[in-house]
Structure 1
Amino acid sequence: MEAPGSGAAPRKLIERRSIDYIPESERHGSLFSQFTLWLGANLQVTAVVTGALAVVLGGDVFWSLAGLLVGQVIGGAVMALHGAQGPQLGLPQMISSRVQFGVYGAIIPLVLVCIMYVGFSAGGMVLAGQALGHFLGIGSTSAILVFAALVVMLAALGYRTIHTMGRISSIVGVLAFLYLFASLLHGHDIGALLQNRHFTVGSFLLAVSLSASWQIAYGPYVADYSRYLPRSTSALKTFLAVGAGSVLGAQVSMVFGVFAAALAGDRFAGHEVSFIVGLGASGAVAALLYLTIALGKLTITTLNAYGSVMSVAAIITGFGGQRTISSRARLGFILLMVGLSTALALAGERAFLKEFSAFLLFLLAFFTPWSAINLVDYYFVTRERYDVPALSDPDGRYGRWNMAGIVVYALGVLVQMPLIATSFYTGAWVAALGGVDISWIVGLLVPALLYYLVSRARLDQVPKALILPDEPGAAKATGG
């Protein structure tokens, strides 16, 4: 299904664009494809594991479900607000960070984003390797390598292929989870499970943090997958399509994880894939479940690999002032990032659950300030009035370094340090708060307020209208 007026763009299997602006003549796609992409990306086993952590780490069933839903809505709103920028700017998400940090300064969050891609992809490869290995009858090492090769191929094909994968994954995922829920809950009283209630503030906020961090972590690349939509696409409808798909998919997966952890106990933690497939007994059904798990991980890991191209390219081109990269460089970046993820997956597959939990929660401290700054700037300071050509010019409107944005970002990270509670790092104030981690709340609110206040002094640098590279008369709107 294509949006009206998109027929001018020829269909090509291999995407030729990278970090450059997408002209209107090449825009295509529909809001439904945004919904299916993010639904399919979240109906997957890593989201199941993340939901299970709410119970594995001490929560009850009822309040874990409630906390996960609250976190989905909050984090999903942040994530979808980033996604709504794609049709307006026609750019990958992190390029717009040059407005807030400067052309060179944006490299700071970009490096952290690259670490995120590697970490999430590695965790996904561990679970995908387990599933693919059982399906193909090969060892986990060989399965991870096969999976990595598939990711490289799909990421190299690009945007259209990724959205096609999203549609397939959403259909397969919905059918698989209907079957899994029926199998898991067969013979069990759901009401009795929901009566498992012993509310504690710490466990509830842990569940909120798990799902909120899951959603917010998509923020640095969500616009990468909406930037081809026509500029006439409603920002509100884009927000709803992206957010609904992501929140619905993640909540379904995490609810399953909560029920699985509550019913299976020690049989689930550390044996996630085998437990899920065991619900399908054996034979053809079990094989299909292994394939479904691998397919779900293939979708999200391809998103990570494709997003890594945008981030690494944004780092490299920031110093050179280029607006695009060659096809050969694009493939090289994919191989680099997927290779790093594969190496990490092979090295750390035995301690996945514990390490992934710590990584996911600690990662939040570095992306909530970036999200807060980017969203406040786009919606409240510049109000969508970006000078897109200047984003590639270190000597242009946005300069090399925006020290105001960089300092606010650093403060946003530092103010969270005493409040973080993970096995990787625990802040000095956590014990006084009863073990409750409220760092991500502070990490959103403090930098949002600080950036809004300091940026008010620079309003004369904001263009009077959005300036795009290929729109007639755009140069007349450059006055600040």
Structure 2
Amino acid sequence: MSLADRAEPVAAPAFVPDPRLTNKDLAPATHRKWKVFDLFALWMSDVHNLGNYTFAAGLLVLGLNVWQIFTSLLVGFVLIYFGMNMMGRVGQRHGVPFPVVSRISFGVWGANIPALIRAVIAIMWYGIQTYLASVAVNVMLLAALPDLVSWTRHSFLGLDALGWTSFLILWAAQALIINRGMESVRKFQDFCGPAIWLVMIVLAVWILAKAGWTISLTATPHPVSTGKQFAQWFGAIGLILSIYGTLMLNFCDFSRFAPDYRTVRRGNFWGLPINSTAFIIVSVIVTAGSIEVFGEAITDPALLVAKAGNTWVLALGALTFAIATMGVNIVANFVSPAYDLANVWPQKISFKVGGMISTVAALLVTPWNLYSNPAVVNYFLGGLGAFLGPLFGVIMVDYYWVKRGHVDVDQLFDARAGSRYYYRKGFNPKALQAFLPTAAVAAVCALVPCFADVAPYSWFIGTVTSGLLYSVLCRAERAATPPAEPPLAEPSPEEPGPRPVEL
């Protein structure tokens, strides 16, 4: 026997990821501590906010009654539940955040397109949500301490002294939580979600008691025709899909920390169809109660709490709205841009650095001026928001239909020409060919006045059209892909998570 025959086999060299594509935050998750309650609390943090309260209350004012609002939003949240599960499966199985997931369909460099679109939207709304919360806090403070009115007489860059004080306090508090990383985010949202529920229940009991426990569930302050009610019912479903289309796109940022897919499904079930619908209904009932008690529909909970006239109640209300906004901001508007910006320059930008860039940018854009300009909110943020549906459609069709769940995680961090997700110069032309025209269609539906009747469905239109177009473009590629086996199967509890990329 020769020496060659007796030689030990040489192990293949370990894969070394391209430093331009990875850092410890973008690499597959190794610590999977998020349980069912964590995901459930995540949804509580995301849903329990002023925007959702006002959205649900506004449907009552538009002509829907409590039962119609309940059924429409229940249907919407069930659809969102399935969409979140689809993206959640991708994140949980492969352990990577949204910008890395985007490399599967858009290419290792093309992934920056969906990542930056999502980041810009999140940063703008991060600032706007913080500003709206500061307005609610101002209402509470002025009701409790009328002498503070002197702080509202002079302004700087469009905001008075009281506004600046409230905004900066909320802004700094969020930055402190964010700077401690994702584990701090998990612990904070575990607290704030249940806390808001407790305050909402107290508010509902208070308004029901003042109304003598006689609130109609079938009446509306502004009755409309049956045809108009049907249009508003379907419109409510479309709007709630558009609202949650942002987080549906990057839910893998959270599901990557779940130990198994069953945890993701259960957390989503209790957090979406159950909790979210319940919160919306409580919001509508409180608004209906305000009609009985005060003779008008008060759709802003801050104004409703201000009517209590008790200093301690006002202080509690201010704290509650501050916590609610921090919860939704951190979940929906911080985590995504932190990862998205890290993806642009992983060697210099970590999750924490990306988060700090986002918070500073949210301050520099002076969100109160953005919010006071309907054209900016409608055309800029509304137009960008219409792009989220086409992105979701391309990514989901690519993963489930074209690639049938077959993903080589190592190759997601390989920028060499010829690597699996390099495509053409790092971009997937087919993904762009499907995304660009359908995003234009969705934006037209969302923004052009003559399409106002279909505007609530822009996210759905963009998702379906982009998915269909991408499936046509990729028919040959799918035919060459073997049927899915383990990649789409439910992992057993003993099955280890994705192998971490060595940094």
Shorter-chain TM-score range: 0.7 to 0.9
CA contact (8 A) 2:36 2:264 kept: yes
Q: Shift in Å at residue 132 of structure 1?
A: 4.3
In 2: Cα distance, 1:454 partner to 1:368 partner: 18
Deviations 1:238-261 (A, max 9, x none): 133124314444334433444455
The structure-2 alpha-carbon separation of the partners of 1:290 and 1:349, relative to structure 1 and needing over 3 Å to count, comes to: farther
In 1: Cα distance, 2:314 partner to 2:177 partner: 26
Taking the TM superposition and a 5 Å limit, the aligned residue runs for 1:7-156 are 17-23=24-30, 26-56=31-61, 59-133=64-138, 134=140, 139-156=162-179
Helix, strand or coil at the partner of 1:415:
helix
The structure-2 alpha-carbon separation of the partners of 1:276 and 1:124, relative to structure 1 and needing over 3 Å to count, comes to: farther
The answer to whether structure 1 residue 300 and structure 2 residue 328 are counterparts is yes
Q: Counterpart of 1:286?
A: 314
Task: Name whichever of 450-459 and 128-137 sits farther off.
Answer: 128-137
Q: Write the letter of the residue equivalent to 1:225.
A: F
- Relative contact order, higher structure (CA 8 A, sep 6+): 2
Q: Shift in Å at residue 279 of structure 1?
A: 5.8
In 1: Cα distance, 2:252 partner to 2:353 partner: 22
Q: Shift in Å at residue 363 of structure 1?
A: 4.8
Q: Please give the root-mean-square deviation of Cα atoms over the aligned residues, in Å.
A: 3.3
Task: Name whichever of 49-58 and 407-416 sits farther off.
Answer: 49-58
The structure-2 alpha-carbon separation of the partners of 1:445 and 1:350, relative to structure 1 and needing over 3 Å to count, comes to: closer
CA contact (8 A) 2:94 2:409 kept: yes
Taking the TM superposition and a 5 Å limit, the aligned residue runs for 1:270-419 are 272-278=300-306, 280-303=308-331, 304-317=333-346, 325=347, 329-348=350-369, 351=372, 362-395=383-416, 396-399=419-422, 400-419=426-445
Deviations 1:47-88 (A, max 9, x none): 112223334556554433332222222233213321232221
Task: Name whichever of 456-465 and 364-373 sits farther off.
Answer: 456-465
The structure-2 alpha-carbon separation of the partners of 1:30 and 1:295, relative to structure 1 and needing over 3 Å to count, comes to: same
Task: Name whichever of 140-149 and 240-249 sits farther off.
Answer: 240-249
Q: Write the letter of the residue equivalent to 1:308.
A: P
Helix, strand or coil at the partner of 2:372:
helix
The structure-2 alpha-carbon separation of the partners of 1:414 and 1:236, relative to structure 1 and needing over 3 Å to count, comes to: farther
Helix, strand or coil at the partner of 2:462:
helix
Q: Write the letter of the residue equivalent to 1:194.
A: T
In 1: Cα distance, 2:320 partner to 2:38 partner: 20
CA contact (8 A) 1:128 1:294 kept: yes
Q: Write the letter of the residue equivalent to 2:238.
A: S
Q: Write the letter of the residue equivalent to 2:193.
A: S
The structure-2 alpha-carbon separation of the partners of 1:130 and 1:389, relative to structure 1 and needing over 3 Å to count, comes to: same
In 1: Cα distance, 2:329 partner to 2:57 partner: 21
User: Given the two structures, how large is their TM-score scaled by the length of structure 2?
Assistant: 0.76
Identity, % of aligned positions: 20
Unmatched tracts of structure 2, length 5 or more: 1-22, 149-161, 488-496
Q: Shift in Å at residue 365 of structure 1?
A: 1.7
In 2: Cα distance, 1:398 partner to 1:99 partner: 6
Q: Counterpart of 2:466?
A: 447
Q: Write the letter of the residue equivalent to 2:337.
A: S
Unmatched tracts of structure 1, length 5 or more: 1-15, 318-324, 473-480
Helix, strand or coil at the partner of 1:394:
coil
CA contact (8 A) 1:82 1:93 kept: no
CA contact (8 A) 1:371 1:444 kept: yes
In 2: Cα distance, 1:93 partner to 1:345 partner: 27
In 2: Cα distance, 1:282 partner to 1:359 partner: 41
Q: Write the letter of the residue equivalent to 1:35.
A: F
Task: Name whichever of 60-69 and 142-151 sits farther off.
Answer: 60-69
The answer to whether structure 1 residue 245 and structure 2 residue 271 are counterparts is yes
Q: Write the letter of the residue equivalent to 1:426.
A: V
The answer to whether structure 1 residue 210 and structure 2 residue 239 are counterparts is yes
In 2: Cα distance, 1:71 partner to 1:354 partner: 28
Q: Counterpart of 1:166?
A: 189
Q: Counterpart of 1:268?
A: 298
In 1: Cα distance, 2:274 partner to 2:365 partner: 30
Q: Write the letter of the residue equivalent to 2:368.
A: A
Which of 426, 429, 446 aligns to 2:448? It is 426
Q: Write the letter of the residue equivalent to 2:201.
A: L
CA contact (8 A) 2:121 2:385 kept: no
CA contact (8 A) 1:280 1:289 kept: no
CA contact (8 A) 1:416 1:439 kept: yes
CA contact (8 A) 2:80 2:272 kept: no
In 1: Cα distance, 2:382 partner to 2:60 partner: 16
Deviations 1:204-243 (A, max 9, x none): 233112211222221233221221222xx1x244133124
- Name the count of aligned residue pairs: 435
In 2: Cα distance, 1:358 partner to 1:190 partner: 42
Q: Shift in Å at residue 113 of structure 1?
A: 0.3
In 2: Cα distance, 1:374 partner to 1:243 partner: 23
The structure-2 alpha-carbon separation of the partners of 1:59 and 1:267, relative to structure 1 and needing over 3 Å to count, comes to: closer
Which of 199, 203, 218 aligns to 1:176? It is 199
In 2: Cα distance, 1:184 partner to 1:452 partner: 52
CA contact (8 A) 1:76 1:216 kept: no
Q: Counterpart of 2:9?
A: none
Helix, strand or coil at the partner of 2:398:
helix
Q: Shift in Å at residue 145 of structure 1?
A: 1.0
The structure-2 alpha-carbon separation of the partners of 1:122 and 1:194, relative to structure 1 and needing over 3 Å to count, comes to: farther
Q: Write the letter of the residue equivalent to 1:149.
A: A
Helix, strand or coil at the partner of 1:333:
helix
Structure whose alpha-carbon radius of gyration is higher: 2
Helix, strand or coil at the partner of 1:385:
coil
Q: Counterpart of 1:224?
A: 253
In 1: Cα distance, 2:473 partner to 2:239 partner: 31
Which of 477, 481, 498 aligns to 1:458? It is 477
